[in-house]
Structure 1
Amino acid sequence: MIRHLGALIATTVGLWLTPSSALGQSTQTWDALPVRQTQPELAIRVGTKELPPFISIEPSASPYGYSADLWQTIADDLALQTEWVTYPSVSDLLTGLENGEVDVAIAGISITAQREAAGFDFSYPFYQSGLQLMVPKPETTAITLTSSMLNWHNLRPIFLIFASSTLVGGLIWLVEHKHNEHFSGNPIRGVSQGIWFAIVTLGTFGYGDVTPTKFTGRFIATLWMGLSFFIVADFIASLTVHQLSENQLNLEALGGQSVGALEGTTGEIFLQSQPVKLITYPTFEAAVAALENGEIKGLVQDAPALRHFINLNPGYFELAGDLLTNEGYGIAVRENDANLLEAVDQLILEYQQQGFLQQLHHKWFNEVGVLAD
């Protein structure tokens, strides 16, 4: 038991000199952790796994990223000397924590009921995340472009404009052809002039070379001017919605097809309940290679990690649909380390109130983020 008692200096120093190998055992309770005080640091082993931009790992260097910065700040405030231990997967990381190999686990670890039931406690969430689907970005060729242009969703508003302009042009000719020279002559020429007038009015070009003169003709033209706003708005909206829908492939559209996830992650657990063929991979690199080679149609992983990867590799992949889940990232400890967890929770709440978590997000994502409430 580590107790920071000013009157018992000898006892305290003796406990501070406890070998680091003794840390991580179930008997360590982390009582009376020092907060923001200058004194010798306690050694603590922190497990992690690579998950850019939360944790990036390079040989002969300490882990860096959002979560690494957060933990280092916590360690400084608690006077803890961090010894990093890296693991290849989240499942291995949590196993190491359970077995006492490390005292704390941090990366981008989702807080779930299953992990709580397995003997882990989690800190207050320091980042709000969720799963999302990543798919290959479709190639734009002359064939795909032509096919898209000839799609009924694109042709429908054009057909509507032509049909309504023809109707209005015919009505204008019918009213004006007997006394207005602009619409006189044979019906084909007169109706074509009426259609020209309707299209010019619809487009608000206002050339004025062809105009109705009778009250009935002008009344029809006035109604057409008002109606044209709605027709143009429908035309623009139809094209916009179709363009968005083309880029919003979702998991439901991949029903029965192969979709990948990383082993031991919440993505694997989520896809087990979905109508897709689940294929798991040991590493993110292996999953991306399978997606690129066409072995799987999509990859489900934490949205922040996918956005970061796409930003570093533009033009190859894109996110599809909305978030599939809502998950909070937390720092994991064993159930009997309540004192350590309480100290960490207090600091995370202070960091959130001070805006430090937002600063971290801006640093590592270069954008304003959605943090835990």
Structure 2
Amino acid sequence: MKNIKKGLLFISIVVMVFSFAACGGQEKDVYKVAMEPTFPPFDTTDSKTGELSGFDVDLMEAIAADQGFELEWSNMSFGGLISALQSGNIDIIASGMNASDQRRKQVDFSDTYYDSGLVVAVKDGNTAIKSIKDLTPDMRVGGQIGTTGADKCNELQKAGKIKEAKIYDGLDVAMMDLQNGTIDALINDLPVTKAYMKAKPGTIEIVGDVLNAESYGIAVKKGNKELLDQINAGMKDIKDNGTFDKLYSKWFE
């Protein structure tokens, strides 16, 4: 009888130990998040480490820390982000993405976190183009694939107002082509264009007024309410505790 009691006591202790270990060492959820890193200051690559960097990285990492989950980052072309999300290859898009009505039919967006707009950029010293109204049917105009800038370029070409809408996978190549004269102008988001001008002064300039306004959001697969709620809750928390403002100052001021 004593041996039976000892055996039961031992089993109970073992069960308790494993129960405590399971509670104390519970693994965090890990979500796959992707971006296209040629869109500074939102999405870029650290020149020293080669790691993905930018406002979107810091923002998403702050939300993850607040909500108790972890992130696994990957680099993808902007045009392939939504299809990767829909197919389940990634869980989150954090890539300076405009939460447009058209995209909302494909994915679910978080509360928006940045209000932007499009601008026309030209090579520094270009006096022929002073606004979008100065674009002519013999000109080539660039934009990045999957963005509202590319949509605007295609719209201008369809209307016969420019010769060609040249659409790029990466914004870095588009900026190079703008400087070497392959394209006459580039239509792109205001903060990204300003960041490029700051990093490489004297290369390009913005002309005319800001065009259509747009707001950026973090995207998840359609119907993934649990993850969307976590992201929105984390976004609210970091705005309330001042973390968001600190990150904004780091990347935009």
- Of 40, 63, 67, 2:27 maps to 40
- Of 134, 140, 153, 1:253 maps to 134
* Residue 98 of structure 2 is aligned to residue 106 of structure 1: no
- Partner secondary structure for residue 45 of structure 2: coil
Query: What is aligned with 1:269?
Result: 151
2:128–2:134 contact (8 Å) kept in structure 1 = no
Q: Using structure 1 for the length normalisation, give the TM-score.
A: 0.56
Query: What is aligned with 1:218?
Result: none
1:62–1:84 contact (8 Å) kept in structure 2 = no
Q: C-alpha separation between the residues in 1 aligned to 2:128 and 2:66?
A: 46
Query: What is aligned with 2:54?
Result: 65
1:247–1:320 contact (8 Å) kept in structure 2 = no
Query: What is aligned with 2:232?
Result: 345
* Residue 198 of structure 2 is aligned to residue 317 of structure 1: no
Query: What is aligned with 2:116?
Result: 129
Structure 1 residue 105: deviation in Å?
A: 0.8
1:137–1:317 contact (8 Å) kept in structure 2 = yes
Which segment drifts farther, 75-84 or 275-284? 275-284
Structure 1 residue 258: deviation in Å?
A: 1.5
Which aligned segments of 4 or more residues in structure 1 are displaced greater than 4 angstroms?
58-61
* Residue 169 of structure 2 is aligned to residue 288 of structure 1: no
Matches within 5 A, 1:199-218: none
Structure 1 residue 39: deviation in Å?
A: 5.6
Q: C-alpha separation between the residues in 2 aligned to 1:355 and 1:134?
A: 34
* Residue 81 of structure 2 is aligned to residue 93 of structure 1: yes
AA in 2 matched with 1:63: L
5+ residue gaps in structure 1?
1-8, 17-37, 140-245, 367-373
1:48–1:93 contact (8 Å) kept in structure 2 = yes
Deviations 1:174-229 (A, max 9, x none): xxxxxxxxxxxxxxxxxxxxxxxxxxxxxxxxxxxxxxxxxxxxxxxxxxxxxxxx
Larger radius of gyration: 1
- Of 107, 125, 148, 1:138 maps to 125
Q: 1:355 to 1:78 in 2, by over 3 A?
A: closer
AA in 1 matched with 2:247: L
Q: Identity rate of aligned residues, in percent?
A: 29
AA in 2 matched with 1:349: K
Query: What is aligned with 2:67?
Result: 78
Q: 1:40 to 1:247 in 2, by over 3 A?
A: farther
Deviations 1:14-35 (A, max 9, x none): xx9xxxxxxxxxxxxxxxxxxx
1:133–1:251 contact (8 Å) kept in structure 2 = yes
1:40–1:79 contact (8 Å) kept in structure 2 = no
Higher strand share: 2
Matches within 5 A, 1:324-339: 324-339=211-226
C-alpha RMSD of the superposition: 2.4
Structure 1 residue 350: deviation in Å?
A: 3.2
Q: C-alpha separation between the residues in 1 aligned to 2:184 and 2:196?
A: 17
- Partner secondary structure for residue 333 of structure 1: strand
Q: C-alpha separation between the residues in 1 aligned to 2:229 and 2:27?
A: 21
Q: C-alpha separation between the residues in 1 aligned to 2:245 and 2:70?
A: 25
5+ residue gaps in structure 2?
1-17
* Residue 252 of structure 2 is aligned to residue 365 of structure 1: yes
1:126–1:357 contact (8 Å) kept in structure 2 = no
Structure 1 residue 302: deviation in Å?
A: 1.3
Structure 1 residue 248: deviation in Å?
A: 8.1
Structure 1 residue 276: deviation in Å?
A: 2.4
AA in 2 matched with 1:43: V
Structure 1 residue 61: deviation in Å?
A: 4.9
- Partner secondary structure for residue 134 of structure 1: strand
Structure 1 residue 58: deviation in Å?
A: 4.7
* Matched residue count: 225
* Residue 1 of structure 2 is aligned to residue 115 of structure 1: no
Q: C-alpha separation between the residues in 1 aligned to 2:63 and 2:180?
A: 42
